[in-house]
């Protein structure tokens, strides 16, 4: 069995707790299911003596490395901000990455290639610097992070100094990679103009929740017994600020609406927000396993994504809603990183602020006609969307092997 080597720098990609880690695990598991042994060397700030050094998940093996330089500096400074992506982790990132690049040298010198994940990574450049000139490096940038900083850097000299160094380093990473992956053509075209690169390839962002076939969807849709009112769902899967804001705002709006006019599910670790719920038609269901989430998505009519501040990974909500054939109420920031061709196939209400979000919900409820018992809201192209990863992985393998 041929081995594929990958590198990432997240705490636990296999848990798929963010849009980026959903992308990592989905792509790598698809490679594994294509018949390859996939080994990921993962740089993590949470690795310690009690952490598992090796994790197997869905045919993918993760080998976890600690951020030694970060931990060394944190100990000297008596740093207490040990949460993910804190300031010190960012400042020590490239030193820790160089340490792991040196450790991987002997493993990679005879390997055909490596897949590198992460918008902040310099792994491609470091491996070339260490003398690995012949291996093929596939680099997944996760989309538009560098492009966002590029646009900010053009606003003022201060912003240029703030982001200019990162963008210069990022360009080294791009130029050191054989193929650079983007989630949609828009991101790839923008990057080509900004960084003068031509070796781009598209692997779309992938939904963490989707249905195997129409029959599965219909069987779950029939679990719903009430079709006299619209069902809404907000999937807020991690305790980050933009999800917290979305949950609080959504509860506030639906609290004011007649309970007989709607049903709202909010998923994720938000059971402590029940103290704000005053409407019996709002249900905070907590963190649920994948199969239960599929049920809730199948029973819903509308997916909600009110994210009004820039943050990575917000597209995951929208992809889950698309996979269930839902109409969607979302901010423009929620669809960043999605291909426009996908969005053309669905009904989506774009809202620019909290007021427009509330007005869209109220309008839908007042104009509601009875929901359909089975499948009219479901589009068969969504199944293709869920399964098309295999087509892209096949093309990706041709670039690696």
Which are the contacts of 129, defined by CB distance < 8 A and separation ≥ 6? none
Please tell me the predicted confidence (pLDDT) of residue 83. Answer: 55
* 3-206+387-400 belongs to CATH 3.40.50.2000: yes
**Average per-residue pLDDT in the chain?**
83
- Count CB-CB contacts under 10 A for residue 359: 14
Residue among 37, 50, 49, 46 nearest 13 (CA): 46
**How would residue 239 be classed by pLDDT, with cut points 50, 70 and 90?**
confident
Instruction: Look up residue 335 and give its DSSP letter.
Output: G
* Rounded distance between C-alpha atoms, residue 197 and residue 188, angstroms: 9
pLDDT of residue 372: 56
Which range, of 11-15, 320-324, 377-381, 389-393, averages the lowest pLDDT?
377-381
193 exposure class (CB count in 10 Å sphere: 0-12, 13-18, 19+): exposed
Rounded mean pLDDT of 338-349?
73
pLDDT at res. 401: 56
CATH number of 214-385: 3.40.50.2000
pLDDT band at 154 (very low <50, low <70, confident <90, very high): low
36-62 pLDDT, tens digit each: 899 999 998 887 767 789 999 989 999
For the record, the structure tokens of 371 come out as: 């929901």
Contacts 24+ apart (CB under 8 A), 383-386: 383/210, 383/211, 383/213, 383/214, 385/207, 385/210, 385/322, 385/323, 385/342, 386/207, 386/210, 386/211, 386/323
User: In this predicted structure, what is the pLDDT of residue 45?
Assistant: 82
Given a cut of 70, whether residue 150 has pLDDT beyond it is no
pLDDT of residue 241: 82
Instruction: Label the pairing between strands 54-57 and 60-66.
Output: antiparallel
Reply yes or no on whether the pLDDT at 157 is more than 50: yes
First-residue to last-residue Cα distance in the chain: 13
Q: What is the pLDDT of residues 315-336, one digit of tens each?
A: 778 888 888 888 999 988 787 7
Residue 262 pLDDT more than 90? yes
Domain extent listing, the chain: 3-206+387-400, 214-385
Strand order from edge to edge, sheet including 54-57:
54-57, 60-66, 37-44, 3-8, 113-117, 136-140, 179-182, 200-202
Domains 3-206+387-400 and 214-385 share a fold: yes
**Of all residues in the chain, what percent are helix, strand and coil, respectively (each to 5)?**
45, 15, 35
The confidence band for 85, taking pLDDT boundaries of 50, 70 and 90, is low
Q: What is the pLDDT of residues 188-234, one digit of tens each?
A: 888 888 888 888 988 887 777 778 777 888 888 888 988 889 999 99
Which of the pair, 81 or 142, is modelled with greater confidence?
142
Looking at residue 259, what is its pLDDT?
94
| Residue 290 to residue 212: CA distance in whole angstroms | 13
**Token pair for 241:** 């600020």
Q: Which residues contact 249 (CB under 8 A, 6 or more apart)?
A: 306, 354, 357
Q: Are 268 and 300 in contact (CB under 8 A)?
A: no
Which residues, at least 6 apart from 1, have a Cβ–Cβ distance to it below 8 Å? Answer: 35, 36, 37
Do β-strands 37-44 and 231-235 pair in parallel, antiparallel, or remain unpaired? unpaired
Q: What's the pLDDT score for residue 152? A: 63
What is the C-alpha to C-alpha distance for residues 81 and 89, in angstroms, rounded to an integer?
Answer: 9
Task: Provide the CA 104 distance to its chain's centre, in angstroms.
Answer: 27
- The residue among 129, 200, 113 whose CA lies nearest residue 169 is 129
Q: SS in 3 state form for 172-187?
A: HHHHCCCEEEECCHHH
Question: Are the CB atoms for 286 and 271 separated by under 8 Å?
Answer: yes
Q: CB–CB of 264/230 below 8 Å?
A: no
């Amino acid at each position: 069995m041929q081995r594929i080597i990958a590198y990432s720098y997240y705490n636990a990609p296999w848990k798929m707790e963010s849009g980026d880690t959903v992308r990592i695990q989905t792509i790598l598991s698809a490679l594994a299911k294509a018949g390859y042994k996939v080994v990921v060397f993962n740089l993590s700030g949470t690795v310690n003596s009690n952490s598992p050094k090796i994790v197997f998940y869905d045919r993918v093996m993760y080998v976890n490395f600690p951020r030694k330089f970060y931990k060394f500096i944190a100990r000297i400074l008596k740093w207490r901000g040990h949460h993910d992506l804190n300031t010190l982790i960012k400042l020590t990132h490239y030193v820790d990455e160089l340490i792991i690049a040196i450790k991987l040298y002997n493993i990679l010198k005879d390997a055909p290639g490596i897949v590198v994940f992460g918008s902040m990574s310099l792994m491609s450049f470091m491996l070339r610097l260490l003398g690995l000139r012949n291996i093929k490096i596939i680099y997944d940038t996760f989309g538009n992070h560098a492009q966002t900083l590029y646009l900010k850097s053009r606003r003022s000299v201060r912003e240029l100094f703030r982001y200019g160094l990162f963008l210069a380093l990022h360009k080294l990473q791009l130029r050191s990679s054989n193929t650079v992956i983007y989630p949609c053509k828009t991101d790839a075209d923008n990057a080509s103009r900004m960084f003068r690169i031509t070796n781009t390839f598209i692997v779309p962002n992938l939904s963490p929740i989707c249905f195997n076939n129409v029959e599965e969807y219909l069987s779950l849709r029939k679990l719903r017994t009430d079709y006299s009112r619209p069902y809404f769902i907000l999937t807020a899967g991690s305790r980050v600020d933009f999800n917290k804001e979305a949950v609080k705002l959504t509860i506030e709006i639906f609290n004011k609406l007649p309970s007989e006019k709607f049903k709202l599910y909010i998923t994720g670790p938000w059971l402590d927000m029940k103290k704000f719920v005053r409407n019996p038609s709002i249900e905070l269901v907590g963190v649920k396993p994948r199969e239960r989430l599929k049920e809730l998505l199948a029973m819903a009519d509308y997916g909600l994504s009110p994210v009004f501040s820039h943050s990575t990974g917000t597209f995951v909500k929208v992809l889950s809603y698309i996979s269930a054939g839902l109409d969607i109420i979302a901010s423009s920031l929620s669809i960043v990183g999605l291909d426009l061709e996908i969005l053309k196939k669905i009904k989506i209400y774009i809202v620019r602020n909290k007021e427009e979000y509330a007005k869209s919900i109220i309008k839908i409820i007042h104009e509601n006609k009875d929901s359909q018992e089975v499948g009219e809201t479901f589009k068969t192209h969504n199944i293709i969307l869920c399964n098309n990863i295999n087509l892209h992985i096949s093309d990706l393998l041709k670039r690696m092997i």
